[in-house]
A and B are shown apart, each in its own frame.
Chain A
Amino acid sequence: MARKLWLILVLTGVIHLGLRGQNMYSVDLINAHLKERADATVRNERVEIDMKSVNDVTVRITRAVTVHNRSGEEHGSIELYYNKSRKIKNVKGEIFNEFGVSIGKFSLKDFRDRSASGQSNLYDDTRMKDYSPAVYNYPYTIVYSVEIKENQNLLIPSWAPDYVYDVAIERSSYVFTCRPTERIRIHQQNYEAEAVVEEDAKTKTYTWELKDIPARRSEPYSPPRDLQATRVRIVPENFQYFKKTGHFKDWQEFGKWNYDYLLADKRVLPEATVQRVKELTKDIDSPKEKAKALYKYMQDKTRYISIQVGIGGIEPFPAETVDRLGYGDCKALVNYMQSLLDVVNIPSYYCVVEAGSYKRDITADFANVSDGNHIILCIPFENDTTWLECTNQQIPFGFLSDFTDDRLVIACSAEGGKIMRTPKFSHEASLQYREGHFNILADGSLEGRLKTTFSGGQFDNHYYNSFMNQQEQTKNAKKWYDIDHISFRKIDYEMISADKDSIAICETLDLAIKNYVVKSGTHAILHPNIFNQARPIPATRNRTNELYINRGYTDIDIMHYTLPDDIDTSTMPVNKRLETEMGIYELRIAISNGILTSYRMIQLREGTYPQEKYAEFYQFMTEIYSSDRGKYNLSIKKDNR
């Protein structure tokens, strides 16, 4: 009897499992609002981290994702990175069709293995394994589990379940387990509740969970997603990383650790170079001028080569190596520049920054190593803090560009870490001022000179062209001023000011445009604003995000056209002004003394505005789009027709 019962139990168990297996991943089970606008739906995701000790961390990820259409394919593929401190132990997966019926299984041997170097790195010792299911009938569901072993605990995988656009979430959880005595720091962003904590004698477990999140779509002019998304990060106070141990609980201590363990002993220069530096600076009094001379020396001597080896890409090559080889990555070059400054006793800070055109701060209240992807140098001259980008051989002394401007960075030195903000140019100071004087010839062609001064944040719009040869300069000019039949007789660049606060460069173009003015019977048609036309921006209906303008600027374009004698100059002037909270636009066209003058000004103010403002901004930009392309119909005098 007992035996029989056992059999029944097993049988029902099987049936039960079978049913469950069939239905569990059926797409019908997804709530309608989690399918709407979603390319993929995360059915269930669990990121589990088990930190046994500083060098024994197990990461287990189980994930079930339904891919609804082709655009969702990327969310169904798996990319796993590994390196010396991170090993992929095990991967198992299965794919289910629309009805939740299994159509195939996969494991680690089905993954492709390749280098993670990519194009921009000469070398990176990280590798990647990836897998994309060869399923082309949508929807389908991919279910997998991954186990990763880390022998470091400084970079604990964070949890950002709703970061990606167009993906809905049924359920996602993040579980962190460690010894109850372990001190960890937790950073929660956009997570309303507190973690659920369970503790027993041996372990302490923290759990975060998110359920029922509809897909978000990406909208133009949206604030950076990383500020909007839910994110939980964990950093243990005591850590091990690539066999180095350490401890920090705030940025101050982080900076100190960074300096002591990764930087301190790396600034020794060969004696010959020390002598050279002394020689170079011996006749210069002001520290700033000394720094400038050394910056030029560094720029001339080195070039940027990205090599990411060793301590997880955070330890620079010693200065001596850069001195010998003449190249290095951002860390090595900043460190090298620091060693040059050391010789003449100018203190400097090694600064970690998140680089990119989108401004992103390091998290001020949470010290961690994953913030930041680039290193720049800060020289704290009194009342004249100066910042140096060391990976660019052409950038002027003290200019940062939109790659690292206006954001919080962490400055590391022997005294520890310090949060600093990089400089910014106001929307008025980021000025592109263009003035053109042209003659319109009898055949409708146009000839003249166009001068543009780029300053502040717009300084480097065309700056790099000044280093190009004539053929390439012309090619670029054609790209920027893409007008049919334009030709350039002369292209010239002149630095107006190399000082970081008033930095400016002037571009002078001698140009001609054949058949510029079109004659049609009694009229001549002229487009007064041709060199700077706003592009249209998309209308986003039912906007969900705030309006975010990353960087403000001012453009002024003044064009003077000397008209041929046969043109009747008694035409109606144009006087247009649009003003919104986000910016101003002006267009004025008038004729006096046979000269048609077009004045166009656009000014955008950076900032974050409520989502309702987007409609107004769209209206504003669309009107500018039309006005910029306006034509001016001039009548030809009777006797010349």
Chain B
Amino acid sequence: MMYRFFALVWIFQVLLANTQAQTNELPSISFRDFEIPSSPIIDSTSHAVVILEKGRSDIQVDDGERELRVIHRYGVRIKILDKEGFDKANYVIPLYKIGNKFETVSQIRGYTHYIDGKIQTVEMDKGAIFHEKMNEFVNLSKFTLPNITENCIIDIEYEIQSPDIFNYRTWEYQDDIPKLYSEYTAIIPALYNYNVTLTGFYKLTDERSRLLKDYFLLNGRRQDCSQLTYIMKDIPAFHEESYMLAPKNYKSAINFELMQYYSTNGARQNLTKEWKDVDRELLSNRSFGGQINRENNFKHILPEMYADGDSEEVKARKIYRYIKNQIKWNRIYGKYSQFGVKEALERRNGNVGDINLALISACGAAGIEAYPVLVSTRENGLPKTIHPVISDFNYLVAQVRVNGKNYFLDASEENLPFGLLPLRCINGSGRIIYSKKSSEWIKLENEINASTHFDITGNIDEAGQFKGNIRITYQGLDALNHRNYIRRFSSLNTYIEERMNNSANMKIEDGDIYQLDSLDNNLVESYEVSMDFSDNIGEKNFAFNPILINRMTKNPFNLEERSYPVDLGSKQKESYTISIQLPKGFHIERQPKNTALALPESAARYTYQSQYEEGRLMLKQELALNKAIYEVDEYFHLKEFYSRIIQHQKVDFAFTKK
């Protein structure tokens, strides 16, 4: 996409510019600024507060380079309230590589104001700014301001020159410290038509627009510009909570997307289009559709992958396994192919795009229906669904259809079974692209729940020694997580040894792992264990808790206030089946009550049922979270629900001998 934009710039044949550099001056400082403003957004967690923040983006013609660029001017005034807020005086400006050029920064200025009888102002030395090449894509300009004390005020100003003229930067109103005033002005040539969207909970305080007549000279012709100003006041700090989707889904920000522009001959060019345009564009793109069509990459290797007599489903499974083994993921996301399917197969290494496009292409070659699905990963935020925004997507998976059944496939993750999506892909909906003419939204979720089951059997002898077996079965994402964990060990033996070493008061005598490589089956761990209950056993009585492992003692939902929904990524289940033989002669004296707890509409369920017969204690416990996402008002239900379970698990079984 990017490269095409540059090509357009050249067609414009930019000649001259007129805009005058102007600094984004912050108002002069006064004593009033030093009074801690009383505002509801400044609370006891605030260590610093933005008094004022202003940004302005303006298109300019770079005379030397004879091309357009965007100038982003920025100025911020921050009051530092206490020592914890000193970090705000350490500033990093990231500069990205756009095409083959880096953004640049200039006019960096920093001032520290403090009161020492009168207002003192110290300017940052130019030498205090460090420019660092972080890696091949990002440069950093770093600095820290001088003379930082509690209650000082800092001013930071700079200007970024960006070659990325088609994407105005997102202006983020909300940050980890509160802001009293934040203003952004975009000056946009009337030739361009942007779609401006506001995300987050808070509304704009004010919004102004003005026409700048003949503001800008392009192609020898004066062009009008719109000056758009967006102001938000009193923006609270953003605090991240556990089990939430990416903060960027909730933070207040204003986004600009170029929808269309008029070329100088008056022709309208649409950029943000309808899905059918996007579908066509993607499937014609060399790094996308171009990679799917290369079925001849696979024609000659198909016989290696499967036998002719295999059913469609078996073929799909074998192709999936083949691609996984052939191309290792280089840990880079992407909806486009990085190297191209052919090269990725040769170097046996590629990004997500390479791998899953290869998978789709191979399925196509084998005559299996397979489609690309555009995904935005969890940390990348939810994609906009009102109209197509290609840049929202950063990942690609496949969906195959065999025997009338659909399966999501992602061949990048070594331990992922056929038909499961990794957690990073479970983020709202993805866009499945069927053809150059058709695509639709598709919910990204796993059919198989994440579950862990504990099966405990054994005997306790007269001396209080437990001997038995614990078998743990993992399914869905639980199996994936656990397989990934086991794979981190150099061998199965070292993993089992680690388990033996870290089992606290339980002694693991021997262990085995089943179906570690058989990804389409559950992962099973089985341990021979012994445990000492001699302290619990008396001549006449005995008390113990049969939930020998993973007993719940901490509440994962312990907040007093909750602002954002809880997103677990999948439905979850944890269950126990326990059967323990006790020494002869014991009768049950008291026991935890058989219980069934449920949240409204069965959003979560907990059951606990025990039975004692002929010296054998049998117990079934099940905890099911039947939703992947819980709304804010359900948070406290969950909290109380877990609390009750913790209470319940505190109670022992007690036995006596007559």
Residues of A within 8 A of B (CB): 37, 39, 68-72, 112-115, 117, 122-123, 134, 136, 166, 300-301, 303, 305, 307, 324-327, 393-394, 467-472, 478, 482, 484-485, 487, 514-515, 518, 520-523, 525, 527, 536, 538-541, 622, 625-626, 631, 633
Contacts and interface: CB of A to CB of B under 8 A. Distances in A.
A325 B147 contact: yes
A626 B149 contact: no
A520 B148 contact: no
B86 A115 contact: no
B543 A633 contact: yes
Interface in B214-270: none
B651 A518 contact: yes
Given A523-B654, A541-B497, 18 more contacts: A69-B491, A70-B488, A71-B490, A113-B136, A136-B328, A324-B146, A326-B149, A484-B555, A484-B646, A484-B647, A487-B560, A518-B650, A520-B591, A523-B590, A525-B650, A538-B498, A538-B501, A541-B500
Interface centre among B43, B45, B555, B650 (most CB of A within 10 A): B650
Interface of B: 43-45, 83-84, 86, 90, 125, 128, 130, 132-136, 140, 142-144, 146-149, 328, 330, 347-349, 487-491, 494, 497-498, 500-502, 504-505, 535, 543, 553-555, 558, 560, 590-593, 642-643, 646-647, 650-652, 654
B647 A536 contact: no
B505 A622 contact: yes
A523 B128 CA distance: 69
Contact of A536 (B133, B498, B502, B590): B502
B134 A114 contact: yes
B505 A625 contact: yes
B650 A631 contact: yes
B501 A326 contact: no
A69 B83 contact: no
B272 to A, nearest CB: 35
Contacts of B143: 122
Contact of B643 (A136, A326, A484): A484
A30 to B, nearest CB: 15
A283 to B, nearest CB: 21
A326 B140 CA distance: 23
Contacts of B130: 122-123, 307
Given A134-B328, A325-B146, A115 B45 contact: no
B122 to A, nearest CB: 8
Contact of A467 (B44, B84, B147): B84
B134 A122 contact: no
A122 B142 CA distance: 7
Interface centre among A71, A72, A112, A478 (most CB of B within 10 A): A71
Contacts of B349: 134
A540 B328 CA distance: 35
Contacts of B144: 122, 305, 327
The 10 closest A-B pairs by CB, nearest first: A536-B504, A538-B501, A469-B44, A326-B147, A325-B146, A123-B130, A71-B490, A521-B590, A484-B555, A136-B328
Contacts of B643: 484-485, 514-515
B647 A394 contact: no
Contacts of A515: 643, 647
Contacts of B330: 134
A538 to B, nearest CB: 4
A545 to B, nearest CB: 14
A325 B553 CA distance: 50
Given A115-B132, A303-B86, A326-B146, A626 B647 contact: no
A393 B122 CA distance: 22
Contacts of B591: 520
A134 B347 contact: yes
Nearest to B125: A325
A622 B500 CA distance: 13
Contacts of A300: 149
Contacts of A114: 133-135
A394 B150 CA distance: 13
Given A39-B490, A393-B83, A467-B83, A539 B148 contact: no
Contacts of B646: 484
B377 to A, nearest CB: 22
B501 A525 contact: no
Given A324-B146, A525-B651, A538-B502, A122 B554 contact: no
Contacts of A520: 590-593, 651-652
Nearest to A68: B490
A492 B149 CA distance: 25
Contacts of A469: 44-45
B655 to A, nearest CB: 13
30 contacts: A39-B490, A70-B490, A112-B135, A112-B136, A113-B133, A115-B133, A115-B134, A115-B140, A134-B330, A136-B348, A303-B148, A324-B146, A325-B125, A327-B148, A470-B44, A484-B642, A485-B643, A487-B560, A514-B643, A520-B591, A522-B590, A523-B654, A527-B650, A538-B498, A539-B500, A622-B504, A625-B504, A625-B505, A631-B650, A633-B652
A115 B646 CA distance: 48
Interface centre among A470, A520, A522 (most CB of B within 10 A): A520
Nearest to A127: B133
A527 B504 CA distance: 19
Nearest to B112: A326
Nearest to B46: A469
Contacts of A536: 502, 504-505
A569 B554 CA distance: 29
B90 A122 contact: yes
Interface centre among A112, A123, A166, A527 (most CB of B within 10 A): A123
A484 B505 contact: no
A562 to B, nearest CB: 21
Contacts of A301: 149
Nearest to B558: A478
Contacts of A136: 328, 348
A522 B588 CA distance: 13
B596 to A, nearest CB: 17
A305 to B, nearest CB: 5
A523 B90 CA distance: 58
Nearest to B124: A325
Nearest to B142: A122
Contacts of A393: 83
Contacts of A394: 83
A325 B129 CA distance: 13
Nearest to A522: B590
A626 B544 CA distance: 13
A531 B569 CA distance: 33
B490 A471 contact: no
Contacts of A482: 554
A482 B553 CA distance: 9
B105 to A, nearest CB: 16
Contacts of A525: 650-652
Contacts of A327: 144, 146, 148
A240 to B, nearest CB: 26
A135 B147 CA distance: 51
A631 B536 CA distance: 10
Contacts of B132: 115, 117, 123
Contacts of A303: 83, 86, 148
Given A325-B128, A482-B554, A541-B501, A471 B43 contact: yes
Given A71-B489, A521-B590, A625-B505, A472 B45 contact: yes
A463 B147 CA distance: 26
A123 B142 contact: yes
A487 B559 CA distance: 11
Nearest to A479: B558
A633 B504 CA distance: 23
A388 B334 CA distance: 51
Nearest to B497: A541
Contacts of A478: 558
Contacts of B505: 536, 622, 625-626
Contacts of A541: 497, 500-501
A9 to B, nearest CB: 38
